[in-house]
Amino acid sequence: MPDKDFIMRKIKLIQEELSHLEKFSQYSSQEIASDYEKTATIERFLERIITRAIDINQHIISEAGKGTEVVRGYGDTFLVLAGLGIYPKEFAEEIAPSAGLRNRLVHEYDTADREIIYTSVSEALEQYAKYCAYILDFMEKQ
């Protein structure tokens, strides 16, 4: 049985980060790309949002999974949740690539392209708001 307090705390933190991230959606890609502090702040918000979602995914998989799920990487955790019926497969396929962005941010693989950072803001705002809604709906049913 998933730990409701753990999941609710992580969801609350994701929602708070999304609220802060939303403030940056008003800037153009050029304004973000030319401002190191804006870029660094956005990168950190994205990293924290995605990492917290992965934490939730891993927890749900370990507590509600069948034990036969195949997880080769963090992106797979989003796909497994679709397999558990928590959200549609199409949504999982949309959000799963964000795990790759998280890896690029955390491990500084060739430093993330600033245009990718810019487009990731709107994608994260949309996808992670939906993600939170799906997880909250799942938790209500538990």
N-terminal to C-terminal alpha carbon distance within the chain: 8
Active-site option among 9, 59, 72, 107? 107
The torsion defined by the Cα of 94, 99, 104 and 107, in degrees rounded to 10, comes to 180
Active-site option among 48, 52, 102, 114? 102
102 flagged as catalytic: yes
Tell me, what DSSP letter sits at residue 85? T
Within 10 Å of residue 133's Cβ, how many Cβ atoms? 12
Q: Please list the active-site residues.
A: 102, 107
